[in-house]
């Protein structure tokens, strides 16, 4: 069956959350947002392309930093309202320079930042 991004369930802003996960390690790298066009571009180019809510523009991960995400696989959740992208990550995924955007954990009611 051919895939049509329009069959996904987007929020009122026309966006769907996309979790990027490292293909080799399973580590969750980041969460970003996609439009139907971003999904189409990602599948076509095999490079993760997201929608920047702040800039109101498409951005391909790594286009300026070189820290690209090469798409290995895209999965759709059971409600069709979230995506999981397994990727080959080059360099850090987070704009802060961290490997993953999820470097702060909550432990015993306190935030702990892991390097």
- Dist. CA 46–CA 92, nearest whole Å: 18
C-alpha neighbours within 13 Å on the C-beta side of residue 72: 12
Residue 2: how many other CB atoms lie within 10 Å: 3
22 is in an annotated binding site: no
94 is in an annotated binding site: yes
Tell me if 79 is assigned to a ligand binding site.
yes
- Contact between 88 and 81 under an 8 Å Cβ cutoff? The reply is no
* Closest to 72 measured CA to CA, from 4, 24, 2, 15: 24
Contact between 50 and 58 (Cβ < 8 Å): yes
Is residue 101 marked as binding? yes
Binding residues for Mg(2+): 77, 79, 81
Instruction: Name the binding residues.
Output: 77-79, 81, 94, 101
Q: Which residues are annotated as a binding site for Zn(2+)?
A: 78, 94, 101
């Amino acid at each position: 069956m051919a895939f049509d991004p329009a069959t996904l369930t987007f929020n009122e802003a026309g966006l769907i959350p996309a979790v990027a996960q490292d293909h080799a390690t399973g580590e969750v790298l980041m969460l970003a947002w996609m439009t139907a066009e971003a999904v189409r571009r990602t599948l076509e180019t095999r490079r993760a392309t997201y929608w920047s809510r702040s800039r109101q523009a498409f951005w391909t991960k790594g286009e300026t930093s070189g820290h690209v995400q090469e798409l290995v696989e895209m999965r759709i959740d059971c409600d069709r309202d979230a995506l999981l992208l397994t990727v080959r990550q080059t360099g850090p995924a987070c704009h802060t320079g961290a490997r993953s955007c999820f470097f702060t954990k909550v432990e015993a009611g306190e935030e702990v930042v892991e390097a």
